[in-house]
Chain A
Amino acid sequence: MIRLLYGLAFCLLAYPCFAQTNYEAASIPKDLMPYASAVVRKMEQSTEVKDFDNTVENFKIAVTILNKNGDEHADIVIPYDKGNRIKLIKGAVYDEYGKLVKKFSESNFSDYSAADGFSLFTDNRLKHYHPATISYPYTIEYEVQIASKQSLNFSDWVPNHFLGTAVEDSRYEFVCKPDFNLRYKEFNFPGKVITGTNAAGQKTYTWEVKTLKAIRNEPYSPDYEQIKTVVKFAPENFYYEGINGSFNNWAELGKWQYENLLKSRTALPNETISYIKALTDTIKSPKQKAKVIYEYMQNRTRYISIQVGIGGFRPFLASDVDRLNYGDCKALVNYTQSLLKAASIESYYCIVYGNSRKRSLLTDFASMSQANHVILCVPFKNDTTWLECTSQKIPFGFLGDFTDDRWVLACTPDGGKLLHTPKYTADQNRQIRKANLTMSENGGLTGNMMTTFEGAQYENRALDDNNQDTKKEIEQLKEFYPIDNLEVESFSYKRQKGIAPVNQEDIKLAATDFAAQSAGKYFFMVNPVNRVSGVPRELRTRTTAVYINRGYTDIDEITYTVPAGLKIETNPLFIEINKPFGQFKATATMNTQNQLVYKRQIKMIDGTYPKESYQELVDFYKQVSDADNYKVTLAKRN
């Protein structure tokens, strides 16, 4: 999928970028300076649908870079491919006083393959330019024009693409012939669209914003996508890669995709069909059949990304995957769907935005480019099952944290359907640990530790099931468990694969000098393995709501058997906090069997909370951090 640095801009103006060129840095309004490393002085973006097979996006921008941190704005990266041709690139650099330093054109750009180090192959390419400047501030002004023979995808208008950027003026115009119907969706747009007709009789839509302040990065804030001003566009009737189509909603878009991009891709060789039939014939339950087929697919394929042809929207043929045994997410989902079909099991090809930070498709606005991944939905009666097809290891029916809890589009023969993937709740995302450790007279530690991982925490240990006791994995465990001088004597994993999978880790460990000793006393941290990694920084002013993306529950219980005759000398640990967003409880007590018992339970609850609760969240973590760093002093009983 295509994305220019700011979004793509289109229009037909081959003049110097802007007529007015007062780029003196001193003329930037003072109230735009806080937290800004760059200021968009002027941006004019336009999209013109000249015909269904002729769209021109034009993008003109002037950005003043205030310091090194703003340099990324001056990095011009223009993606293009066979379907999206660059018609114009030009620009200029101005110094602090707005004096022209240098002009540049297409010949100053380097040309690269857009290979991302992730795809095996892609036919997308990039043009790249970065101006050489020696002092700040400076201004870069450039214009890019890209033509495409389609009318399905249009760049969003995003006046303020980055955190830490302020905007003086940004304008967007959509121009189209009278019989083209535009649909659009505004986010955080303070004004009102102006519609009209130009001299050529074309319809025009104009959006404009002025003076947007820089947004600072704040911990625990919602997706920046939800905060910034964005307008998204979609056609009603369109043309794309030789196909005409139309849609007004997800149902129609899903139908179009099914009919044009998916339906013809599912044929399998007869041998494969009969093999699948033979494999599943004796199994009664459709769900069990699906599991066997899914595991068959997992065992014989692997994920390799290859992006060629139709903008990355159409899967490889199922028969190709059957032969080559690899494919990207689209290919593997399509293949699995075809295998299931061979056993008469219906399933849906579902497009989704995959990211551990949850993002749904916009339920009230259908457009083609909101997704980046594909998963498979198997609608058993009262028991919808979801399959991630790109991993050889993930259990049947388990999605993990990449596609959970969000709206996705199922492309079915009856049209598109918006479906919601399962949510893993704070109670389900559990990590439960129990350790029995013995501390020797000289402060050393030995013992066993057992931990189970469930829900979204199932994948906390991406270690191999059948490859144990390797040096490397012990090194990884030492990183997970920051106990000084830790030696892992043995470890094992037991995985119960299933729709609610559980992974159990057992470790036998030892550590010398665990407790520091002085004047016959022992000092050590009672929670050596699961401390919060840090307290979110305090903010002098908080502007966004508090957002916790995914909830979880961790329960730790460590029993230390210590040399006889010791008592706790420090203030005992007892803390309990209850807040709307989380709960925490920790205690450390000595029992009568010379055992120090440490218990800790933390639960963070996903959701959006008012911005005023941010300080409470910081205080919560401060208290948790203090409790996690609690050090006990054990002294001889008198």
Chain B
Amino acid sequence: MIKILLALALSTSLTAGLAHAGDFPYGSFNLAEMDMKSYAADPSAHAAVLQEFGKSWISTSGDRIRLIHEYHVKIKIFDDKAFEQGKIEIPLHKSDNEYFESIQSLSGVTYYTDNGSVQRAELDPKQIFTENSSKYLDVKKFAMPNLRPGCVIEYKYTLESPYLNNFRKWEFQTDIPKASSEYEVRIPAAYNYKVTLQGFKKLDNTNAEVEKECFSIGGNKCDCSKISYVMNNVPAFVEEAHMTAPKNYLSAIYFELNDYVNLYNGAKVKVTQDWADIDRGLKSDEEFGSQMKRTGLFKEALPKILTGSTTDLDKAKAIYAYIQKNIKYNHYYGIYTDNGIRRALDTHSGSVADINLALVAALNAAGLNTEAVLLSTRDHGIINKLYPVKSDFNYVIAKVNIADKSYLLDATDPMLPFGLLPIHCINDQGRVMSLNKPSYWIDLKASQKEGNTFILDLTLQTNGKLKGTFTRYASGYQAYNNRKEIKKFNTVDEYIENLDERLTKVKILESKIQNLDSLDAPLAETYQVEIDLYDGADHNRLAFNPFILNRITENPFKLAERDYPIDWGAPSDTRYMLTLHMPEQYMVEAPPATAALSLPNKGGMFVSQFASQDNAYTFSHIIQINNSIYSPQEYPYLKELFNKIVQAEKADIIFKKKS
């Protein structure tokens, strides 16, 4: 995993640094900005941030402690593709009528050229809307007026927030380039935040100074650290295929409240600290540890669930299946239970934590040692390992330990086999939370390879059709995906009907699907087929491409190079084997070339083989991807591997009549 994290020292080593820029004046433009035709560092950009300044501090006016965030930006819009930049949404979080974020002042102006002179158009306050999006979210929305290609927009606002634990983060990098981005924070010495800088780019400047007695509450005063972080020439972030959350690679700065001093009584209040604190907190949390301990809820149901299970593994599987079937996932993420596991069991509905903590409790109730594992899903980003941040985690699963093996379980999806995590959980490492041990890290890896095997045995008939059997075995995520595909249909018959109709050249005569509901076994599909290939079988020459099914026709890797790792989620093994029985009068004119190519460090391989015996010709391809993640340096090798595969699968074999 490539993730660049830097812990920034905050309260120590304050240096009286250079004078820094600070906010820039609002409401003025210069002709150079107006005349700019493209952004020099990235001429393909449709818009660029010319200047961006943010400022956050803790205010105590009216004896209410508030986080104040000022934001001010000036954006150059080169063409109409970037007009979306003029549509602004500011999310405002809310808990109830007392506890909510609000915008205190908001103004904006568009500078545009009309008939050779620069005009200004002010944002009309009547055209600023507040949308009551949901119970926990309002959104301020507005559109900047009078956008033209070449215009510059500028807006600023002040946001007031009661949520002190999350000191406002700052994103230096977005999908448009920035000429300069500066963030100034003023943090009272009474508040101690942990600061993290993330991404590939370094800060161009940081400056810290002390402001005397800048903060007071209840008559008590303390000093503040005033720090500014500057990044210049920040490139736009471009998303690429086969990658995890962009957030892992974007340059941004994050703050997490570590502790603060209550200035009324001088007591130091810890907010987050080390793992021991987090462990202790979670173990006793009503919505976490207490739920894990609710083994009593299962006392009654267990004997029935475990009927017929003798080994510990059988028992674990039975309980896993029971939770999978009995609580339907309501698509809420989070590490804390939503309604608690009792209610989840009663209503048959629950969040990730409801379901998986119920699983932990049920397994423990059966005497199986089980822990909970906190993790961050792929789209949520990779966990920061420098120091614990609870909000980095958004998901919880179960880890059952049987003899010397352990199994990672997620019961939210009834189609997942025992021990296979859904792909969104395969993201670096998770933190194991046990009721009686300190927490520790564990690798989150797919427990099974993705397996995909095609076996075809076909005979050319005198009518020019190929007849025979086609069998497909799938395991791991491939089986999961195929099962999902089949279950999309009302019945298996309708699935087969659709498959038959979709493969226009193939007629399915008979079919058999095995292990559709036995999730632990490979999914097997067997079809008796007739393939419409030639018009009769009496030709001097017949061209045949063995890759009737599952042919890879395009290289998935098209970029010249890439900066980020290639993440497949799981290793895979794909095999294709076809045996063709030809009428006696044919012989091979041009046999397909055999090929073999390996990735460095046993990372994977591609092998193509051909053999003939009597009138039977056998083709086989094996593609093995042995790692889940490849570094950017390995990209050219992967690209070349697929290039070879595409080439090999393109080639026909030519049969000709014996003379």
Interface residues of A (CB under 8 A from B): 35-37, 66-69, 102, 110-113, 115, 120-121, 125, 132-135, 164, 299-300, 302, 304, 306, 323-326, 392-393, 464, 466-467, 470-472, 475, 478, 482, 484-485, 513, 516, 518-519, 521, 523, 535, 537-540, 569-571, 618, 621-622, 625, 631, 633
Q: Given A325-B145, A631-B543, A633-B543, are A478 and B328 also a contact pair (CB < 8 Å)?
A: no
A539 interface neighbour in B501, B505, B553, Cβ under 8 Å: B501
Apart from A120-B143, A325-B147, A516-B650, list 9 A-B contacts with CB within 8 A: A102-B347, A134-B328, A164-B490, A302-B86, A324-B146, A464-B79, A523-B650, A523-B652, A633-B543
A120 touches B87 (CB 8 A): yes
Quick check: A482 and B643 within 8 Å, CB to CB? no
B652 lies within 8 A of A132 (CB): no
By the criterion CB–CB under 8 Å, are A115 and B133 in contact?
A: yes
25 residue pairs of the A-B complex, CB under 8 angstroms, read: A37-B490, A68-B488, A69-B488, A111-B134, A113-B134, A120-B141, A132-B328, A132-B330, A300-B146, A302-B86, A323-B121, A323-B124, A324-B127, A466-B79, A471-B44, A482-B553, A484-B647, A513-B643, A516-B647, A518-B651, A537-B498, A537-B504, A538-B500, A622-B504, A625-B504
Q: Is B325 an interface residue (CB 8 A)?
A: yes
Judging by beta carbons under 8 Å apart, are A323 and B145 in contact? yes
B497 contacts the other chain (Cβ, under 8 Å)? yes
**For residue A625, which residues in chain B have a CB less than 8 angstroms away from its CB?**
504
Shortest C-beta distance, A30 to chain B (Å), equals 13
**Given A37-B490, A115-B131, A622-B505, A467-B145 contact (CB < 8 Å):** no
Give Cα A485–Cα B559 distance, bound, in whole angstroms: 10
Asked if residues B148 and A300 are in contact (CB atoms below 8 Å), the reply is yes
Residue in A467, A538, A570 whose CB lies within 8 Å of B44:
A467
B314 close to chain A: CB less than 8 A: no
Candidates B87, B124, B327, B651; contact of A304 at CB < 8 Å? B87
Given contacts A112-B134, A537-B502, contact A36 B325 (CB under 8 A): no
The answer on a CB contact under 8 Å between A523 and B143 is no
Q: Is the CB of A519 within 8 A of B590?
A: yes
Interface centre among A392, A464, A621, A625 (most CB of B within 10 A): A392
Nearest-Cβ distance from residue A220 to partner chain B, whole angstroms: 13
Q: Which residues of A contact B121 (CB under 8 A)?
A: 323-325
Contact A112 B133 (CB under 8 A): yes
Neighbouring A residues of B286 by C-beta, 8 Å: none
Tell me if B135 counts as interface (CB < 8 A to partner A): yes
Question: Which of B131, B497, B553, B558 has the largest number of chain A CB atoms within 10 A?
Answer: B131
Contacts of B616 in A (CB 8 A): none
Complex Cα gap A35–B491 (Å): 9
State whether A518 touches B133 (Cβ < 8 A): no
Once the chains bind, are A120 and B129 in contact (CB under 8 Å)? yes
CB proximity to A under 8 Å, residues B91-117: 114
In the bound complex, do residue A484 and residue B490 qualify as a contact, i.e. CB atoms below 8 Å apart? no
Closest Cβ of chain A to B158, distance in Å, is 22
B468-496 contacts to A, CB under 8 A, are 487-490, 494
Give residues 143-189 of B contacting A (CB, 8 Å): 143, 145-148
Q: Which residues of the other chain, A, contact B558 by a CB distance below 8 angstroms?
A: 475, 478
Choose one: B139, B328, B498, B543; the contact of A570 (CB below 8 Å): B543
B339-375 contacts to A (CB < 8 Å):
347-349
Contacts A304-B87, A471-B44 hold; do A35 and B348 have CB atoms under 8 A apart?
Answer: no
Partner of B135, one of A35, A110, A621: A110
Given A121-B131, A513-B643, A622-B504, is A35 in contact with B328 using a C-beta cutoff of 8 Å?
no
Kindly state whether residue B132 has any CB partner on chain A within 8 Å. yes
Complex: chain A residue closest to B134, CB-CB: A112
B510 to chain A, nearest CB (A): 16
Q: Which of B79, B347, B488, B592 contacts A518 (CB 8 A)?
A: B592
- Given A36-B490, A37-B490, A113-B133, the answer on whether A570 and B541 have CB atoms closer than 8 Å is yes
B655 to chain A, nearest CB (A): 13
User: In the bound complex, how far is the Cα of B487 from the Cα of A521, in angstroms?
Assistant: 46
Specify which chain A residues have a CB less than 8 angstroms from the CB of B650 in the assembled complex.
Answer: 516, 523
Measured between C-beta atoms, what is the minimum distance from A100 to chain B in Å?
A: 14
With a CB–CB cut-off of 8 A, which chain A residues contact B141? 120-121
Find B504's partner among A484, A485, A538, A631 (CB 8 Å cutoff). A538
B654 at the interface (CB under 8 A from A): yes
Residues in A neighbouring B146, C-beta threshold 8 A: 300, 324-325
B51 within 8 A of A: no
Task: State the total of A-B contacts with C-beta under 8 angstroms.
Answer: 140
B554 at interface (Cβ–Cβ under 8 A)?
A: yes
Is A68's CB under 8 angstroms from B541's CB? no
Beta-carbon contacts under 8 Å, B643-657 to A = 643, 646-647, 650-652, 654
**Interface residues in B491-522 (C-beta closer than 8 Å to A):** 494, 497-498, 500-502, 504-505
Query: Taking the nearest CB of chain A, how far is it from the CB of B447, in angstroms?
Result: 26
Chain B residue contacts of A535, Cβ below 8 A: 504
Q: Which 3 A-B pairs have the closest CB atoms?
A: A132-B349, A537-B501, A470-B44
Quick check: B501 and A540 within 8 Å, CB to CB?
yes
Question: Is B290 at the interface (CB under 8 A from chain A)?
Answer: no
Q: CB-CB < 8 A to A132: which residues of B?
A: 328, 330, 347-349
B75-87 CB contact bits vs A (8 Å, 1 = yes)?
A: 0000111010011
Question: In the assembly, what is the distance between CA of A111 and CA of B147, in Å?
Answer: 34
Contacts of B349 in A (CB 8 A): 132
B348 touches A134 (CB 8 A): yes
A428 to B86, CA, bound (A): 37
Closest Cβ of chain B: how far from A277's Cβ, in Å?
A: 15
**B620 contacts A by Cβ under 8 Å:** no
Contact assessment for A516 and B129 in the assembled complex, using a CB-CB cutoff below 8 Å: no
Q: Which residues of the other chain, B, contact A67 by a CB distance below 8 angstroms?
A: 487, 490
Inter-chain CA distance A324–B325, complex, in Å, is: 56
Asked if B9 CB lies within 8 Å of chain A CBs, one says: no
Q: Which residues of B contact A324 (CB under 8 A)?
A: 121, 124, 127, 143, 145-146
Q: Quick one: closest B residue to A540, CB to CB? A: B497
Q: Is the CB of B133 within 8 A of A134?
A: no
Query: Are A302's CB and B592's CB within 8 A?
Result: no
Task: Say whether B273 faces chain A, with CB atoms less than 8 Å apart.
Answer: no
Is residue B593 within 8 Å, beta carbon to beta carbon, of the partner chain?
yes
Query: Which residues of B sit under 8 angstroms from A622, Cβ to Cβ?
Result: 504-505
**Is B216 located at the chain interface by the 8 A CB criterion?**
no
Once the chains are docked, how many angstroms separate the CA of A621 from the CA of B79? Answer: 41
Task: Name the B residues within 8 Å of A326 (CB-CB).
Answer: 143, 145, 147
> What residues of chain B lie closer than 8 Å to A300, measured between beta carbons?
114, 146, 148
Q: Cβ of B44: which chain A residues have Cβ within 8 Å of it?
A: 467, 470-472
Q: What residues on A are CB-neighbors of B652 within 8 Å?
A: 523, 631, 633
Bound complex: CA A540 to CA B502 (Å): 11
Contact with A along B306-335 (1 / 0, CB 8 A): 000000000000000000011110100000
B258 within 8 A of A: no
Least CB distance from B8 to A in Å reads 33
Interface residues of B in 601-623 (CB under 8 A from A): none
Q: Is the CB of A299 within 8 A of B148?
A: yes
Q: How far is the CA of A125 from the CA of B203 in the complex (A)?
A: 44
Please, which residues of chain B bring their CB within 8 A of the CB of A392? Answer: 80
Knowing A132-B349, A540-B501, the reply to whether A113 touches B132 (Cβ < 8 A) is yes
A246 to B43, CA, bound (A): 58
Query: A484 contacts which of B139, B143, B330, B555 (Cβ < 8 Å)?
Result: B555
Is the CB–CB distance between B590 and A518 below 8 Å? yes
- Give the docked Cα–Cα distance between A475 and B142 (Å): 33
Residues of A with C-beta under 8 A to B127: 324
Q: Is the CB of A484 within 8 A of B145?
A: no
Q: How far is the CA of A323 from the CA of B46 in the complex (A)?
A: 25
How many whole Å from A333's CB to the nearest CB in chain B? 18
Which residues of B are found within 8 Å of A633, using beta-carbon distances?
543, 652, 654
Q: Which residue on A lies nearest to B348, using beta carbons?
A: A134
Q: Which residue of B lies closest to A570 (CB)?
A: B543
Task: Report the bound CA distance from A521 to B86 in whole Å.
Answer: 58
B500 to chain A, nearest CB (A): 7
- In the complex, which residues of chain A have a beta carbon less than 8 angstroms from the beta carbon of B131? 113, 115, 121
**Separation of A111 and B543 alpha carbons in the complex (Å):** 62
